[in-house]
Chain A
Amino acid sequence: MSPLTLILTCLAGWLAVGLAGVFFARRFFFVARILFPAGAALAIGVAAAALASIFSDPETAILPLGLPGLPFHLRLDALSAYFLCLLGAVAAGVSIYAAGYLRRREGSATPGQQCLLYHLFLASMCVVLLADDAYVFMVAWESMALSSYFLVTSDHRIAEIRRAGYLYLIVAHIGAIGILLSFGAMSGGEADGYTFAAMRTHELGGWLQSAAFLLALAGFGAKAGLLPLHVWLPEAHPAAPSPVSALMSAVMLKTAIYGLLRVAFDLLPEQQWWWGALLLGLGLATAVFGVVFSTVQSDMKRLLAYSSIENVGLIFAGVGLSLVFAANAMPLLGALALTAALYHCVNHAFFKSLLFLTTGSVLHATGQRNLGRLGGLIHPMPWVAWLALVGVIASAGLPPLNGFVSEWLLLQSFLFTPQLPHGYLNMLLPVAAGAVALIAALAGFAMVKFFGVVFLGQPREEALAQAHDAGTLERIGLVWLAAGCLALGVLPNFVIATLDPVTQLLVGSGFANSAGKGNWLLLAPISEERASYNALIFLGGIVACTGAVFVAVRSLFHGRLRRVDTWDCGHPVAGGRTQDTAEGFGQPIRQVFAPFFRITREHPSPFDREPHYRIVVEDPLWHLLYLPLARLVEFGTRLVGLLQRGRIAIYLMFSFVTLLALLMFTTR
C-alpha cells in the first residue's frame, strides 16, 4: 500500500470514528475510552506513512469526489509529508489526552458531537495539506475553519465564548477571501488553471505575482495570527476546550504556514527579495508583540495564546529570511533559514500542545483559568507540573530541549548573512538578529511567570489543596508530547535529515550532508569550525555534573535535612497573598514596554472603605484599528439600510429600475 493510500485510509478511519461518535452519543465510555484512542492510533498511522514518504517521489491521486468535472486532486510531496508528520505525531498525543480529558457533562456539546467535530477537524487539516488544486484546498480550508469554530464554541451557553467564536469566524472568512483571490490571480483565468500543477507553469507578470503573494500573505496571515490580524487568536484559544486549543495552536496555525510556503516557494515561479523583507519585518513585529503581551496576561490560556503568536512570528521571520536568500540566489543559506523555520514549526507544535494540555488538567482540577487564583500546584499535581516544566523550558528556548535548537538555527542563519546586495537590509539584519535574541529572552520571562505562578509558591485559594493530578490517559498524552520535546531537542540531525527533501524542493538546496558529516550527534550547519552544537553531550554534561555534585556533596559531607517554617527574612508569612500576583510579576514588562499597551488604571482613594485597585491592559490595535473599522462597516450598512423601507412597492421599484438599467446597458 502506498503512503498516500494509507493516509487516505486513516482519513476515512477518522471520519468513521467521528460518525461512530454520533451514533453512540449516549455511550460516554465507548466514545471517550475507545473512539479517541482509535483516533490516536490512526494519527500515528498518518505520521508513519508521511514519514515514510518524505524521501520518495511525489505521489498524486485524483479522487472522483466533488462536483462533476471537478475531481479532487491530491498530491503528497515532501512539504506535505513533513506537515502531515507533524500533524499525526501531535494529534496522537492530543487524542490520547482527550480520551482522558472528556467529561460526561461538561459544556453544551455532547461527547459524541465533540468526537465528530474533532475528527472532522483533523481530517480537514489533513486534506488541506494534501490538496493539489484550489478547489479542494478551499473546501478543506473552510471545513477546517467551520469544524474548529464549532469546537471553540462547544460551550456556547457562555456569551464570552460565543463572542470569541464569532470573531474567529469573521477573521477566518476574511482570510479565506484573501486566499481565494490569491488563487484566482495565480490561475491566470484559464479553465483548468485552478489545479496547482497548472499554477506552477503559469508565467505571471511582475505585479500580478506580487499581488498574489500579498493576498496569500493576508489570507494565511489571518489564520496564523500575523499582526494585525491576530485579534481572534487570544480570544478563541482560551475559549476552546484544552485539547482543541492544543490542536489549533499546534497544527492549525501550521497549516497556514504550510499554505504560505506552498504559494511563495512552490506555486509562484520566482521570488522577489522584498517579499522576504516584508515577511521578516512583519514576523518580527508579530513576535515582539506576542511575547510582550504574553508576559502581562493573567489568564493562563491567553498567556499561551499570545506566546503562540510570538512563535508564529518567529517562524514567519525565518521564512522571510529564507525568501530573501532564495531571491538573491543563495540557496544554501535559504535552506538554513527555512530549516530553522520548519524545525520551529514542529517544536512549537510539541511544546505548545503540551502546555495547553497541562492547562486543561489544571482547569479540570481547580476550575480556574485565572493565574491569580492558582499557585502551589506542584504539590497536588506533580505529574502535570514536571511535564509542564519540560514544555516551559522548551518554550523558553533553553538548551537542551527542542526550542533551543530551532532558535539556534535561526540565529545562525542571521549570523551567516553575507554581504547581501541591499544596503539597508544588510544593516538591518543585525538589528533583526538582536530582536530575535530579545524575543527569546522575553519568552523566558513569560514562561517563568506561567510556571512559577501556576505550579510554585503557596496556593492562592484554599480549594487548591484538593486539586487532583491528571488521570492515566491524560498522563500518557502529556508524556508522549514531552518525550517528543526531548527527542527533537537531543536528536536534531535526524530532523534536519528529514527536512532535507523539503528544502531541496523549496529552495533547491539542503545541508543534511554537511550538517551530519559522519558525526550523527553533532549539529554543525555549513562546517564545524563555524558553529556546532551537540545536544546529547550537552544534556549528558548537565546530568552527569548534577549527579556527580550530588554524590560528592553527600559523601564528603552529609545528607541531613531539617524541615522548618518559612523564614522570609523574619517577616511573618500569612498565606499565599503576599506572593506576586500574575499582574505583579508582569509589572516590570508593563513599565518597560508601556507604549505597547493601552492601560487603564483605577486607583483607590485614601478615603475608600474598601479600596480597590484595578488595572486593565488591552491591545491598542483593537482600539486603533478594529473598532474604527467596525464603526465604518456599521456606517456603511446603515447607508445600505436606507434602501430597506419595508414596503413591497419600493422593493419592486428597485428591481424595475435595475431591469431598465440593465436593458439599456446591454442593448446599447
Chain B
Amino acid sequence: MDIDALLPQFAAQLFELFAALALAPLLTGWVNQWRARLQGRTPPPLLLPYHTLMKLFGKEPLLAHNASSLFRVAPYLIFSCMALAAAIVPTLSSELLFAPAADAIALVGLFALARVFIALAGMDIGTAFGSLGARREMLIGFLAEPALLMVFFTASVISGSTSLATIVDTLAHREFHIYPSLAFAGVAFTMVSIAENGRVPVDNPATHLELTMIHEAMILEYSGRHLALIEWAASLKLFAYSCLGIALFFPFGIAQTLGPGALAIAVALMVGKLALGGFLLALIETLSAKMRVFRTPEFLGSAFLLAVLAVLVHLLLEGSR
C-alpha cells in the first residue's frame, strides 16, 4: 500500500474516532431524556453528560488508602479500549485504516479486556460492593461474550469474513437480499447489548440499590477524573454497540468511498439512525421491569442460544444458495 491510499484512510479513521468521542455522551443524554419523557418525568438537559464529565475532570480524585496502581491504571485502559472499539466499528465508512488490524473477534476481545480490567478494579479496594459487582459483571460477561461472538458469526458466515468492513460491505452494498438468520441475530444482539450496557431488564444505570446494582457497584470507589473516564467509556460502549447494531442490521448508507460528500450523507444518516435507536432503547427500558440477578443467566442464555440458532437457520435457509 502506498502513502496516497493510506492518508485518506487515516483521516477517516481519526474523524471517526473523534466523532465517536464527541457524540457518545450526546447519545447517553438523548437516551436519558427519552427515558424521562416516557416515564412522565421532566427530562434532564440533553447536554448534561458533558457537564458531568467536565465537572468530574475538574474535581480532585479521592483514592482509598489501599488502592493499588492497577486501580489507577484501569480507567485509562478501559477508556482506551472503548475508544478503540468505537474506532474499529465501521460507523461512517468501511474504508478504515484500523480495519485490518482487528476483526469482529478481536472486537469482542477488546470488550472482554475492558470488562476484565473493570472487574479487577472493582475488586482492588476490597469492599463488599466491589467484589459483588465484579462477580455479577463477570457472570453477565461470560454469557454475553459468546452470544455476541455468535451474532458476529452469523454475519460472518453470510459474508464469508470476520472483518467488520467486509461484513458491512456485503450487507450494505450488494444486491438486496433478505437474510432470515439476521432476524435471530438481531434479537440476540439486542438482548446482549442491553445486558452489556447495564440497561434496564438486566441492570439499572440510575440505581445504587445494593440488591440490584452491577456496574455501579464496581465503580463505587472511583471519583474525579477516574470516574469521568469510566463514565465516558460507558457512553462510548453504548455508542459502539449502537453503531454495531446499525452496521450489522441497518447498514444502508455507510460510505464505501472516502469522498466528503459520501461522508456527509453517512454522518446525517447515522445521526438519524442513532436517534431512533436511542429512542427504542429508552422505550424498551420503560416497558420492561428489572429482573432478578439470577434471571440474567436465563435471559442471556436465551440470547446465546438464539445466536447459535441464527447460524443454523443460515445453514438451512441460505446455505444452499
**Cβ contacts under 8 Å, A578 to chain B:** 127-128
Tell me if B84 and A541 are in contact (CB < 8 A).
Answer: yes
**Cβ contacts under 8 Å, A560 to chain B:** 60-61
Tell me which of A433, A441, A566 contacts B221 (CB under 8 A). A566
Tell me if B319 and A532 are in contact (CB < 8 A).
Answer: no
Knowing A444-B112, A533-B102, A549-B76, the reply to whether A564 touches B162 (Cβ < 8 A) is: no
Assembly CA distance A548 to B79 (angstroms) = 11
Tell me if B60 and A562 are in contact (CB < 8 A).
Answer: yes
Tell me if A561 and B61 are in contact (CB < 8 A).
Answer: yes
When C-beta atoms are compared, the residue in chain A nearest to B213 turns out to be: A569
Which of B64, B128, B150, B208 has the most chain A CB atoms inside 10 A of its CB? B128
Tell me which of A434, A456, A569, A573 contacts B208 (CB under 8 A). A569
Q: Nearest-CB distance from A181 to chain B (Å)?
A: 39
**Cβ contacts under 8 Å, B279 to chain A:** none
Assembly CA distance A376 to B70 (angstroms) = 12
A561-590: CB near B (< 8 Å → 1, else 0) gives 111111111010100101110001101110
A393 on interface, CB distance cutoff 8 Å: yes
A446-483: CB near B (< 8 Å → 1, else 0) gives 01110111001110000000000000000000000000
Knowing A393-B113, A538-B106, the reply to whether A437 touches B57 (Cβ < 8 A) is: no
Tell me if B100 and A534 are in contact (CB < 8 A).
Answer: yes
Tell me if B126 and A393 are in contact (CB < 8 A).
Answer: no
**Cβ contacts under 8 Å, B65 to chain A:** 563-566
Tell me if A452 and B123 are in contact (CB < 8 A).
Answer: yes
Assembly CA distance A200 to B131 (angstroms) = 56
Q: Nearest-CB distance from A434 to chain B (Å)?
A: 5
Tell me if B153 and A579 are in contact (CB < 8 A).
Answer: no
B81 on interface, CB distance cutoff 8 Å: yes
Assembly CA distance A541 to B85 (angstroms) = 11
**Cβ contacts under 8 Å, B142 to chain A:** 438, 441-442, 444-445
**Cβ contacts under 8 Å, B258 to chain A:** none
Tell me if A379 and B66 are in contact (CB < 8 A).
Answer: yes
Assembly CA distance A426 to B139 (angstroms) = 30
Stretch at the interface among A15-23, A324-332, A407-415: A407-415
Assembly CA distance A399 to B116 (angstroms) = 12
**Cβ contacts under 8 Å, B160 to chain A:** 530
Assembly CA distance A453 to B122 (angstroms) = 11
Give the size of the chain A interface in residues (CB under 8 angstroms).
83
A57 on interface, CB distance cutoff 8 Å: no
A545 on interface, CB distance cutoff 8 Å: yes
Q: Nearest-CB distance from A309 to chain B (Å)?
A: 18
When C-beta atoms are compared, the residue in chain B nearest to A442 turns out to be: B142
B27 on interface, CB distance cutoff 8 Å: no
**Cβ contacts under 8 Å, B229 to chain A:** 549, 553
Tell me which of B109, B221, B312 contacts A397 (CB under 8 A). B109
When C-beta atoms are compared, the residue in chain A nearest to B125 turns out to be: A566
Q: Nearest-CB distance from B254 to chain A (Å)?
A: 17
Q: Nearest-CB distance from B139 to chain A (Å)?
A: 4
Tell me if B141 and A415 are in contact (CB < 8 A).
Answer: no
- Please report whether the interface of chain A is mostly helix, strand, loop or mixed according to DSSP: helix
A585-602: CB near B (< 8 Å → 1, else 0) gives 101110110000000000
Tell me which of A419, A538, A553 contacts B101 (CB under 8 A). A538
Tell me if A569 and B129 are in contact (CB < 8 A).
Answer: yes
**Cβ contacts under 8 Å, A434 to chain B:** 146, 149-150, 153, 304, 307-308, 311
B67-84: CB near A (< 8 Å → 1, else 0) gives 010100100110111011
A108 on interface, CB distance cutoff 8 Å: no
Assembly CA distance A536 to B311 (angstroms) = 31
A546 on interface, CB distance cutoff 8 Å: yes
Q: Nearest-CB distance from B169 to chain A (Å)?
A: 9
Q: Nearest-CB distance from B64 to chain A (Å)?
A: 4
Knowing A393-B113, A396-B112, A561-B63, the reply to whether A546 touches B76 (Cβ < 8 A) is: yes
A431 on interface, CB distance cutoff 8 Å: yes
B105 on interface, CB distance cutoff 8 Å: yes
Which of B103, B109, B220 has the most chain A CB atoms inside 10 A of its CB? B109
Tell me if A457 and B125 are in contact (CB < 8 A).
Answer: yes
B81-103: CB near A (< 8 Å → 1, else 0) gives 10110000000000000101111
A390-417: CB near B (< 8 Å → 1, else 0) gives 0001001111000010001001100100
Assembly CA distance A2 to B76 (angstroms) = 51
Knowing A399-B106, A427-B312, the reply to whether A532 touches B163 (Cβ < 8 A) is: yes
- Please report whether the interface of chain B is mostly helix, strand, loop or mixed according to DSSP: helix
Tell me if A456 and B124 are in contact (CB < 8 A).
Answer: yes
Tell me if A430 and B308 are in contact (CB < 8 A).
Answer: yes
B305-321: CB near A (< 8 Å → 1, else 0) gives 00110011001000100
Assembly CA distance A545 to B77 (angstroms) = 8
**Cβ contacts under 8 Å, B157 to chain A:** 415, 430
A238 on interface, CB distance cutoff 8 Å: no
Q: Nearest-CB distance from A292 to chain B (Å)?
A: 10
Assembly CA distance A404 to B102 (angstroms) = 12
Assembly CA distance A379 to B65 (angstroms) = 12
A52 on interface, CB distance cutoff 8 Å: no
**Cβ contacts under 8 Å, A566 to chain B:** 64-66, 125-127, 221
Tell me which of A399, A530, A573 contacts B127 (CB under 8 A). A573
Tell me if B62 and A562 are in contact (CB < 8 A).
Answer: yes
Tell me if A408 and B105 are in contact (CB < 8 A).
Answer: yes
**Cβ contacts under 8 Å, B141 to chain A:** 441, 444-445
A529 on interface, CB distance cutoff 8 Å: yes
Tell me if A567 and B221 are in contact (CB < 8 A).
Answer: yes
A531 on interface, CB distance cutoff 8 Å: yes
Assembly CA distance A538 to B81 (angstroms) = 10
**Cβ contacts under 8 Å, B62 to chain A:** 562-564, 567
B297 on interface, CB distance cutoff 8 Å: yes
Tell me which of B112, B135, B136, B208 contacts A441 (CB under 8 A). B112
Tell me which of A442, A457, A538 contacts B131 (CB under 8 A). A457
When C-beta atoms are compared, the residue in chain A nearest to B220 turns out to be: A569
Tell me if A542 and B81 are in contact (CB < 8 A).
Answer: yes
Knowing A379-B68, A438-B146, the reply to whether A557 touches B112 (Cβ < 8 A) is: no
Tell me if B135 and A588 are in contact (CB < 8 A).
Answer: yes
Assembly CA distance A396 to B81 (angstroms) = 16
B108-138: CB near A (< 8 Å → 1, else 0) gives 0110110110011001111111111011101
**Cβ contacts under 8 Å, A251 to chain B:** none
Knowing A438-B142, A530-B161, A564-B65, the reply to whether A587 touches B307 (Cβ < 8 A) is: no
Q: Nearest-CB distance from B104 to chain A (Å)?
A: 9
B58 on interface, CB distance cutoff 8 Å: yes
Assembly CA distance A159 to B124 (angstroms) = 37
**Cβ contacts under 8 Å, B315 to chain A:** 426-427, 430
Knowing A456-B68, A585-B131, the reply to whether A553 touches B103 (Cβ < 8 A) is: no
22 A–B pairs (Cβ distance < 8 Å), ordered by A:
A375-B126, A408-B105, A415-B153, A419-B319, A427-B315, A430-B157, A433-B311, A434-B146, A434-B153, A437-B145, A440-B146, A452-B120, A457-B125, A528-B100, A532-B101, A537-B101, A541-B84, A542-B81, A545-B80, A549-B79, A553-B229, A568-B127
Question: A458-B125, A533-B103, A579-B126 are known contacts; what are 20 more A-B pairs with Cβ within 8 Å?
Answer: A375-B126, A378-B124, A398-B109, A399-B110, A430-B315, A437-B150, A456-B126, A530-B160, A530-B161, A537-B98, A541-B84, A549-B83, A557-B58, A561-B60, A562-B61, A566-B221, A568-B130, A568-B220, A571-B129, A588-B138
Q: Which residues of A contact B (CB under 8 A)?
A: 375-376, 378-379, 389, 393, 396-399, 404, 408, 411-412, 415, 419, 426-427, 430-431, 433-434, 437-438, 440-442, 444-445, 447-449, 451-453, 456-458, 522, 524, 528-534, 537-538, 541-542, 545-546, 548-550, 553, 556-558, 560-569, 571, 573, 576, 578-580, 584-585, 587-589, 591-592
User: Shortest 3 CB-CB distances between A and B: which pairs?
Assistant: A457-B126, A545-B80, A458-B126
Q: Which residues of B contact A (CB under 8 A)?
A: 57-58, 60-66, 68, 70, 73, 76-77, 79-81, 83-84, 98, 100-103, 105-106, 109-110, 112-113, 115-116, 119-120, 123-132, 134-136, 138-139, 141-143, 145-146, 149-150, 153, 156-157, 160-163, 166, 208, 210, 220-221, 225, 229, 294, 297, 304, 307-308, 311-312, 315, 319
